Amino acid sequence: MSLNKADMEDSINERIKEIVDIQYKRNVSAAARDMGIKQTTLKGVVNGDVKPSYETIVRVLKSDWSRSKGGIKADWLLFGVGDMFANESSNPNPKPNFEKGRPYYDVDFECGFDIMFNDQTSVPAYLIDYPPFNKDGVFWCNATGRSMEPEINNGDVIVIQEVSNWREYIPFGETYAIATTNGFRTIKKIRKGKESDQFLLVPVNRAEYDEQEISKDAILKIYRVLASMKKF
């Protein structure tokens, strides 16, 4: 039996609700921030009051949490076909490797950035083999602090890749690791600043941490956080 459009949209609502209920522990606010969706919009989708738009569906599929799990399958979200995530056989769990993969530096991004990139004797602890992230320019390191909880927890391992042309274009609402010219490093979401020469750095844990404006001239490097996971 085939689904008509209305039935399919209802089913998508139910599957998005399943993601929010199970993966975000029914925290619509946290899910909305991670997905880059207005909280009122996501709440309406979860409650079945609003049909998910194309943009909403794309944001769910491309959320930080989805990427950290190897990607939600579009067939599952749209039609309920198969598993929620890509087959583990095609995307096995990340694992240490000494022959292939991308480098893992056993230092904190916030505290060890200079060690990783300014010390010519620095070598990675090992490689991490995970096909979705076995790409040039990608590397792994540790994250500390609680400002990005529950998206990134203290002690998690993060996967990052430098954004070389961030002054020309950078997608707002994504999670980035930022290194400043005066030696500070932080992991935050980047949003549009009040002025054209500024960014707004936004924590996920807003109950304990504040948003902060930063001048673009104060930024040395920006890395996109592709995923985070518990340390091995």
pLDDT tens per residue across span 85-139: 764 445 567 888 888 899 999 888 885 555 455 554 468 889 999 888 888 899 9
Which amino acid does the sequence have at 200?
L
Phi/psi for 23 (5° steps) reads: -80, -30
pLDDT tens per residue across span 112-124: 555 455 554 468 8
With cut-offs at 50, 70 and 90, classify the pLDDT of residue 201. very high
Cα–Cα distances in angstroms (integers) from residue 207 to residues 30, 189, 204, 211, in the given order:
12, 15, 9, 11
Domains of the chain: 5-79 (1.10.260), 95-229 (2.10.109.10)
CB-neighbour burial class of residue 107 (10 A; exposed 0-12, middle 13-18, buried 19+) = middle
Helix, strand, or coil here: 87?
coil
